Structure 1
């Protein structure tokens, strides 16, 4: 299977391995904690990195819920099957603790050349044995860090992986962090061969998750792709969302009910509480900690209105990644129709609401893209692009460019996102945007107005700037440094 994208992640791993080889730093060995949502491609990236470097490596993936003794036995068995020349007798040993198991690994790492060690699903190792963290710290300090090794610790439970790096935990301060995100929209365009506007649509409904994007045939229209996916109950588009959620939240859990409420379009605390309760609204004392947990796991994000006035109680909630947003909005309800052989009903329901859903779903991508674009614009000092709304959502402004967040000193511009299928941004849309000047704290008649439109803008409109799909996709194009890391070009 071809490997696409991830150039910046490969470069960072390469720099760490180069540091091991050049003996730079306080210790000879280096450690990196690789985090990211489930199914985002962390394990595949680690394997690709190991394959491209041509170095000796050892990889071990934990099994959730397994007995710790059996896990350690499998660890040593995997060591005998690697290229590190561990004797076959190790495959039959039952080490009593992780201290001895990790010391066995250190014993067989070479002293004269760099190697890569990958421990995958570290949260499950922590879950199995409370002593794992301490053993890892002890063996790292005394043995592994003295070897020319790059240790990669991988995990999907973001709260556990981030806890490993907090002050007071055994491994604190010993590893750098690499956060693996889904493929960006430029990578998606390269993989699918679509135009910029169509590539953005593809990114919105796949979330950039590699296992889904790679099923999109080159140049395939969106409706044709969806028709093929919803006709197969086992297609990655249908299955990945359920697998991702079941990995963390049972169907009957309150967290699952909260996610479904947000996925259905509820954005305010009170609306989510009402939708997620089985018999009446969820009490604030129940909903608050659950939302905080979902935020810690980076499944839910909280937005605040951006202006020169603080409004911390006027929160809006959304699903972080757009694929899960799409799955919750459409696909979880489509599955029963697909299983009954009525994929036509599922597809029709998606199409009826697609334009409305896409219009809001594209806004976070636009804001992220503008932060990249603005560095080379008349607003290089803009460090935050958000939205603004009042309690009545009248007006609701799609784009606010400011010097900082959550409370700005200066608002540099206001903007509107119009992602219509065929219509351009015209005088009517400009008039609506201009009405917001003065309503947004920190703005006035002189505040510049900008627009982002799927189909361009009408000529002659007094906009300070405007951008379209080509600019949104182009914001994510960063070529790797082929001269410094020639093996990346493979």
Structure 2
């Protein structure tokens, strides 16, 4: 399948390789610690990078739960079968530990010309053998860092990959951090061939997951794409979510139940506890560490109200992974229907809920896009874009622009997001924004009002700024 998008990610890797080739860094060898959500396209990205480089390379992918001795044997076999100049020197190697296995890598890579070594799913190696990290640090310091090699360590468990870089861990300070994120809105539009507004819908449905975006035939309307995807339980749109979840969260686990609660629309601690606990709310002592783990793994995100007043207890939780957000809301419950051949019923249920769900799901996309457009000439000091709400969610303000977060010293604007198919942002929406803006701490009568609308604006509204779908897409092409 043709590789598209990822220009910025490829350029980051190319820059690190350039440092190796030019000998322009403190050590000849360079290490990149690459993390990203499962199935976001990390392995495909590094393979494409290796192929485009034209250099000798080796790619080794670990297997979860494997016997460490068998894993080392496969690692040695991957070295011996690679195009590295010293591959024949390590043929038949039987490494008794990871120190020996990684020293074989140092032996296989050339001394004077650049090469690339990729170790994929590093968290599984750390899980299998507690000595792996120490061996990696020792061999890097004594052998690999002195050679012109780019070592790319890849992993899907965000918490483990971040821990590799923390003070006190063996590999601390030795690698450059790189996070692979889903395809952005600009890439999704380019790959689907849709107009700006429909491309936003495509992003909300696919989450920017490459394998799903590539299954969206260019120019296909949303309903036609979903009808095709719901026709078979093996379509990428349906399969990727279950594989992603099962990779980390078994169906019967409390973590899975928490994700399903948030995915169904529960946003506060108390409502998640009530939804997850069954007859009785899940105890705080159980739910708090679960939420902490999911936040650390970057599966959940926690938002705080943005204003000049601190409010650290009024958190709102959401699924951070945009595709998983869609999958939990629509696909998870539709799978039994689809497996019975009733994708038509699944599509009907989707259409009934889509507009309301989309209205909230688009808000993080809007805020991220505005952060790429700002600061600009009109908002030269705006460095944070969030929302504001009180404990009763009445009012709930979609957009707050400020100089910093989570507690601003100055609110620069207050705004509203209306994402209707045909209804423009009009006088009614403007009057509601005027009323709600007065509740935001730090905002006053002179605070500029802004709006984002899918379907345009009624003439004559005294808005300080207005943005539409084309502006959101433009943010990602800059």
Shift of residue 277 of structure 1? 0.9
The residue aligned with 1:145 is: 145
The residue aligned with 1:246 is: 246
Deviation string for 1:69-97 (max 9, x for gaps)?
A: 11111111111111124465845432110
Given that residues 59 and 117 in structure 1 are in contact (C-alpha distance below 8 angstroms), is that contact kept between their aligned partners in structure 2?
yes
Deviation string for 1:261-319 (max 9, x for gaps)?
A: 00000011100000011331001111011001000000000011110001111110000
- Between the aligned partners of 2:75 and 2:305, the Cα distance in structure 1 is 50
- Between the aligned partners of 1:253 and 1:279, the Cα distance in structure 2 is 17
Shift of residue 4 of structure 1? 1.2
Give the secondary structure class of the aligned counterpart of 1:116.
Answer: strand
Deviation string for 1:89-138 (max 9, x for gaps)?
A: 84543211010111111012111111011000000111111100000000
The residue aligned with 2:462 is: 462
- Between the aligned partners of 2:307 and 2:336, the Cα distance in structure 1 is 44
- Between the aligned partners of 1:228 and 1:438, the Cα distance in structure 2 is 46
- Between the aligned partners of 1:222 and 1:147, the Cα distance in structure 2 is 50
Shift of residue 206 of structure 1? 0.3
Give the secondary structure class of the aligned counterpart of 2:117.
Answer: strand
Q: Which runs of 5+ in 1 are unaligned?
A: 479-490
Show the 5 A alignment for 1:306-321. Answer: 306-321=306-321
Q: Determine if the alignment matches structure 1 residue 359 to structure 2 residue 359.
A: yes
Give the secondary structure class of the aligned counterpart of 1:416.
Answer: strand
The residue aligned with 1:486 is: none
Give the secondary structure class of the aligned counterpart of 1:435.
Answer: helix
Given that residues 249 and 255 in structure 1 are in contact (C-alpha distance below 8 angstroms), is that contact kept between their aligned partners in structure 2?
yes
- Between the aligned partners of 1:85 and 1:148, the Cα distance in structure 2 is 13
Show the 5 A alignment for 1:156-171. Answer: 156-171=156-171
Given that residues 73 and 91 in structure 1 are in contact (C-alpha distance below 8 angstroms), is that contact kept between their aligned partners in structure 2?
no
The residue aligned with 2:50 is: 50
The residue aligned with 1:215 is: 215
Show the 5 A alignment for 1:26-425. Answer: 26-86=26-86, 90-425=90-425
Question: 4+ runs of 1 displaced by more than 3 Å?
Answer: 85-93
Label 1:60 to 1:447 Cα distance change in 2 as closer, same or farther (>3 A): same
Q: Which runs of 5+ in 2 are unaligned?
A: none
Label 1:89 to 1:438 Cα distance change in 2 as closer, same or farther (>3 A): closer
Shift of residue 390 of structure 1? 0.7
Shift of residue 371 of structure 1? 0.8
CA RMSD of aligned residues (A): 1.0
Label 1:85 to 1:148 Cα distance change in 2 as closer, same or farther (>3 A): closer
Given that residues 238 and 331 in structure 1 are in contact (C-alpha distance below 8 angstroms), is that contact kept between their aligned partners in structure 2?
yes
- Between the aligned partners of 1:386 and 1:275, the Cα distance in structure 2 is 27
Given that residues 69 and 94 in structure 1 are in contact (C-alpha distance below 8 angstroms), is that contact kept between their aligned partners in structure 2?
no
Given that residues 449 and 465 in structure 2 are in contact (C-alpha distance below 8 angstroms), is that contact kept between their aligned partners in structure 1?
yes
Deviation string for 1:177-224 (max 9, x for gaps)?
A: 010000001000100110000000000010000010000001000000
- Between the aligned partners of 2:84 and 2:314, the Cα distance in structure 1 is 57
Shift of residue 437 of structure 1? 2.8
- Between the aligned partners of 2:435 and 2:378, the Cα distance in structure 1 is 23
Q: Determine if the alignment matches structure 1 residue 434 to structure 2 residue 437.
A: no
- Between the aligned partners of 1:57 and 1:85, the Cα distance in structure 2 is 9
The residue aligned with 1:484 is: none
- Between the aligned partners of 2:274 and 2:359, the Cα distance in structure 1 is 25
- Between the aligned partners of 2:233 and 2:52, the Cα distance in structure 1 is 35
- Between the aligned partners of 2:9 and 2:265, the Cα distance in structure 1 is 33
Shift of residue 374 of structure 1? 1.8
- Between the aligned partners of 1:142 and 1:17, the Cα distance in structure 2 is 20
Shift of residue 29 of structure 1? 0.4
- Between the aligned partners of 2:143 and 2:20, the Cα distance in structure 1 is 15
The residue aligned with 1:451 is: 451
Shift of residue 385 of structure 1? 0.5
- Between the aligned partners of 1:141 and 1:267, the Cα distance in structure 2 is 46
- Between the aligned partners of 1:313 and 1:376, the Cα distance in structure 2 is 32
Shift of residue 458 of structure 1? 0.8
- Between the aligned partners of 2:143 and 2:93, the Cα distance in structure 1 is 21
Give the secondary structure class of the aligned counterpart of 1:436.
Answer: helix
- Between the aligned partners of 2:352 and 2:306, the Cα distance in structure 1 is 32
